[in-house]
Structure 1
Amino acid sequence: MKAIRYHEVGGPEVLRLDEVPEPTPGPGEVRIRVEAAGVNFADTERRRGLYDATSPLPRILGSEAAGIVDGVGPGVDAKWVGRRVVALAPRSYAEFATTTEEELLELPEHVSFEEAAGLLVQGLTAWHLIHTSAQLQQGQRVLIHAAAGGVGLLAIQLAKQAGATVLGTVSSEEKAKLARESGADEVFVYGGTASVAEWVRTVTQGAGVEVVLDSVGASTWASSLESLAAFGHLVAYGSASGPPAAVEVETLYAKSLKVSAYWLRTPHPAALQRRAREALGSALAGGQLRVKLGLVVGLEEAAQAHQRLESRATVGKVVLRVP
């Protein structure tokens, strides 16, 4: 089969389209004929050797796949064969990928494989940020950095459905438009004279926000803490601009602030993960949740997808269409 691998860490140019053996599903696993694979910022960090750096090379990238089940391993009901699915699946930048039966989410015909490939990694992250980590409540205010990114646009929609007021930060007017279309109540565009924290104080009439979701890290950390209301909660889930400064507990006392982190790869209770997956699938199928496809290119153009993602030239979800 064809697959995208890297044989050494480096820039997007290290990604190669290789011929490799097709995988075989093991006990409790299925094999998916991949139609679309999601691209995530973590993939670029793996390629650069900043994340999962001990994994042996060459390595096939990818962590989510949408397609059709074409085989099952021992212990899996053959009813899955031929069904349209999306799943968290390692090594999904390929024509075939394997994953466990528990990861499968069946897709209705009207949901495209490209949309579905944008649902799980970023959707589960957004869902758990809103419901598991922040436990956002109706009437609260949340500040979402990188609001026009894949997680950001989904988090806006989920936060609005939870009854929150949503503030977002973006880097351009085009991205601001997308954030507003997804439901953001107020959007800050970098480039003006005001700081994020000053803007938050203005739009909240001095109150601040109860929750901040921060995937940017170093460049936003201070403003995130400053934007919080008393008893507010900052949830970190990435560091696109670099690791943030160490938290000094003494600085948290004045407003009794809470700082935490979220990582999708942390082992989740099975029932909680199933509830999140089913909630996302149902919302996507019913039209209550929309996946914004910012860039869809062929498998062989994975290097271009990485370059565009790293340069912040994309919005929403980046997807590889697999021939």
Structure 2
Amino acid sequence: RIHLRRGQTVLIHAATGGAGQICIQYCQWIGARVLATAGTEEKRRFLREHCGVEYVFNSRDTSFVNGVRSILPHGVDVVINSLSGILLQESIKLLADHGHFVEWGKRDVFDKTQLSMFDFRSDCSFHVIDLVSLSQGHPDICSAMLQEMIDLLIQGKLKAIEPTVVYEPSQVIDAFMRSNSGQVMGKAVVRLTNSNESLCLNSVHHNNLPEGNNIMFPSTVCRQGTI
């Protein structure tokens, strides 16, 4: 949809997760200039030292707006967003003329958040990404994208997500809680093959579950271990 080109600028929010890391690698392979945000100093250091991102800002408040503007006064060509509320709205204002805003979060979509059309006045576009819908309606497109990623991994142009934490089926609730904490990096993977353990679903979990706007899944999802 975007046709990213060498030399363009991309702001990737909350970039230490699996999707964010692959997005960074892909943009760097294209030759785009990457800026990123993350929620803790540990995560920001990881992006600078491990992922080679020069400019990294805080994703938990709007301080990234002035940070990006100080480097790119005219804004960025692409924003890859998973933030919500005022952070999403301020990110839209960072778009350069003819820019693209890619929304892969779901909170504002399902909250029916209203956006100002004025912020898109300079020939900007807004893309809501839903891979489930895309795979159902256009499986050929999804297959082509997946094959491209596999080819790039085989060629060594992309590398595996770090860290990748593997859970057994009986630990699926722990996997959800890890993802829900807002403090982790990388990817949580539940091993559904080559395991002697049964998949633990709909069991009661007695630990305290995180609450607030920084969590990925509702508490009921963590308690039941289901999507």
Cα shift at 1:281: 1.2
TM-score, normalising length: structure 1: 0.53
1:158 is aligned to: 26
Given that 2:134 and 2:142 are in contact with CA atoms closer than 8 Å, whether structure 1 keeps it comes out as no
CA distance in 2 between counterparts of 1:137 and 1:243 reads: 33
Q: C-alpha deviations, 1:115-165, integer Å up to 9, x for none?
A: xxxxxxxxxxxxxxxxxx332111100101111011100000001111100
Letter in 2 for 1:306: F
Determine the structure 1 residue equivalent to 2:216. Answer: none
Q: Separation in 2 of the partners of 1:227 and 1:315? A: 26
**Residue identity matched to 1:176:** R
How many residue pairs get aligned? The number is 188
Aligned to 1:203: 71
Query: Structure 1 residues 270 and 304, CA, compared in 2 at 3 Å: closer, same or farther?
Result: closer
Determine which structure has greater relative contact order: mean sequence separation of CA pairs < 8 Å that are 6+ residues apart, divided by chain length. Answer: 1
* SS, match of residue 70 in structure 2: helix
> Which residue pairs with 2:172 in the alignment?
302
Report the CA distance between 1:306 and its aligned residue. 0.6
Q: Secondary structure at the match of 1:267?
A: helix
1:223 aligned counterpart, secondary structure: helix
Residues 286 and 212 (structure 1), Cα distance of their counterparts in 2 relative to 1, 3 Å cut: same
> 1:311 aligned to 166, 173, 181, which one?
181
If the length of structure 2 is used for normalisation, what is the TM-score?
Answer: 0.74
Q: What SS does the corresponding residue of 1:220 show, helix, strand or coil?
A: helix
Is residue 213 of structure 1 aligned with residue 80 of structure 2? yes
Alignment of 1:266 with 2:133, yes or no, is yes
CA distance in 1, matches of 2:112, 2:8: 25
Q: 2-side partners of 1:271 and 1:260: how far apart?
A: 19
Does the aligned pair in 2 maintain the 1:160–1:183 contact within 8 Å? no
Task: Tell me the distance in 2 between the aligned counterparts of 1:215 and 1:281.
Answer: 24
Q: Is the 8 A contact 1:157 1:183 kept in 2?
A: no
Pairwise CA distance, 1:189: 2.7
2:53 is the alignment partner of 1:184: yes
Give the CA deviation at 1:190: 4.5
State whether residues 178 and 184 of structure 2, in contact with CA within 8 Å, keep that contact through their aligned partners in structure 1.
yes
Residue from 90, 114, 122 that aligns with 1:223: 90
CA–CA separation in structure 2 for the residues paired with 1:138 and 1:175:
26
